A = this chain, B = another copy of it.
Amino acid sequence: MSEIKFDALCIGNAICDVFAHVEEDFLVREDLVKGAMRLIDTDEALRLYDKMGQTVRISGGSAGNTAAGIASLGGKPAYFGKVAKDDLGEAYTHDMTATGVHFETPPLVDDVPTARSMILITPDGERTMNTYLGACTKFGPSDVDADVVAASAVTYMEGYLWDPEEAKKAFLAAADIAHNNDRKVAITLSDSFCVDRYRSEFHDLIKNGVVDLVFANEHELKSLYETADLDTAISAARESGAVTALTLGSEGAMAITPEGQVKVSAQKLDTVVDLTGAGDLFAAGFLFGLARSYDHQTACELGCLCAANVIGHVGARPEKALKDVANQGGFIV
């Protein structure tokens, strides 16, 4: 069996985030569901962009943010995702490799452009995402480098990969390689609407042991188990056989296993600027913790610390080294 070289391999839609601050009534006028991600085509992307004010552009993508977070903690992440050979794609590649992420998925040439998500931040810090998938629709099984999967302690993938047709196949191929090499497989449920779209398939992934570890927030877990009651959803998660890492916003986070559960409190925050990436950075801390053999409680605590850090500014990537933040928080990383 090959040696472990990467703490985690993250696979997802490689997206450039385009942020703008808007008032609540902008969402009402545009008939947008606050906090959700919707997929849009080129025409809608252009139409909405014209209505957005001053923008900030930062590399994003859920699993990409998690990989960047692990690198920022001083870990060794790898990433698979498809950008185009254009300015946004080159900036994306720079941001990954410059922060220490192993990222060698070949870019798409002479085809659709790099994906972008127009993220509207309301005054409460909530974000509403409008995503044009572009080059992500061309990500497929041939982009799965088996050697990297085999060399990664865990392969962590977005539920969002169920949206582009070929990406789902890549997800399943990567999971197969990981398990054949005795590695773990994790999924993030991504979004309660994403769960809505693929509920039965996500259930099958868990039931059939395709995934060992599930990341979810409260809305996603309730959606997965079709209940309005969080305790009911937690019981179902406990009985699912998988380990569930559950984020609870300002209430903190939980790790739920067949044997029981642990809960940790969230960091106290003065101001919430932008919630984008909170879940992604929780996953970075939790996965980093697992790779360092932390117990579930400590891994949750590091996850909460990383999530708190990214909420304080616009963008889903750490601005300062999370390694320093973690050390100041009493973690030895």
- Tell me the minimal C-beta distance from A237 to chain B in angstroms: 33
> Do the beta carbons of A314 and B317 come within 8 Å of each other?
no
Q: Which of A84-92, A185-193, A204-212, A248-256 contacts B (4 or more CB under 8 A)?
A: A84-92
Assess A319 versus B98: contact at CB under 8 Å? Given A86-B87, A314-B313: no
At the interface, yes or no: A265 with Cβ under 8 Å from chain B?
Answer: no
Q: B315 touching A99 by the CB < 8 A rule? A: no
Asked if A57 contacts B91 (CB within 8 A), the reply is yes
* Smallest CB gap from A113: residue in B: B87
Q: What are the residues of chain B within 8 A of A319 when measuring CB–CB?
A: 21, 54, 56, 314
Residues of the B chain whose Cβ atoms lie less than 8 Å from the Cβ of A72: 54
Residues of B within 8 A of A320 (CB): 21, 123
A255-305 contacts to B, CB under 8 A, are 273
How many of chain A's residues touch chain B, expressed as a range?
20 to 34
Which has the most chain B C-beta neighbours within 10 Å: A56, A87, A94? A56
- How many copies of this chain are found per oligomer? 2
- For A57, the closest partner residue in chain B by CB is B57
B54 near A317: Cβ-Cβ < 8 Å = yes
C-alpha spacing A291/B58, complex, angstroms: 35
Complex CA distance for A26 and B188, rounded to whole angstroms: 36
Report if A227 contacts B (CB, 8 A).
no
User: With A87-B86, A87-B88, A313-B313 in contact, is A318–B54 under 8 Å at CB?
Assistant: yes
A331 contacts chain B at the CB level, 8 A cutoff: no
Q: Which of B55, B58, B87, B98 contacts A52 (CB 8 A)?
A: B98
Asked if A95 is an interface residue, CB under 8 A from chain B, the answer is: yes
**Assembled-state Cα–Cα distance A50/B97 (Å):** 9
How close is A88's CB to chain B, nearest CB, in angstroms? Answer: 7
B87 engages A54 (CB within 8 Å): no
Partner among B58, B86, B87, B94 whose Cβ is within 8 Å of the Cβ of A56: B58
Judge whether A53 is part of the interface by a CB distance below 8 angstroms. yes
Complex alpha-carbon distance, A88 and B57, angstroms: 10
Chain B residues near A95: list those with CB within 8 A: 53-55
State whether A55 touches B91 (Cβ < 8 A).
yes
Interchain CA distance A315-B88 in the complex, whole Å:
19
Closest CB of chain B to A161's CB: distance in Å? Answer: 23
A195 contacts the other chain (CB 8 A): no
Question: Which residues of chain B come closer than 8 Å to A51, judged between CB atoms?
Answer: 98
Q: Which residues of B contact A88 (CB under 8 A)?
A: 87
Tell me whether A68 is interfacial, beta carbon within 8 Å.
yes
Q: Within the complex, what minimum Cβ distance (angstroms) separates A26 from chain B?
A: 12
Contacts of A87 in B (CB 8 A): 86-88
Contact with B along A147-165 (1 / 0, CB 8 A): 0000000000000000000
B58, A99: Cβ atoms under 8 Å? no
Is A57 in contact with B54, judged by CB distance below 8 angstroms? no
Partner of A54, one of B49, B53, B56, B59: B59
A88 to B90, CA, bound (A): 12
- How far, in angstroms, from A258 to B260 measured CA to CA in the complex? 77
For the complex of A and B, the 4 pairs showing the least CB-CB separation, nearest first, are A87-B87, A57-B57, A53-B98, A54-B317
Interface residue ranges, A against B (CB under 8 Å): 21, 49-59, 68, 72, 86-88, 91, 94-95, 98-99, 123, 273, 313-315, 317-320
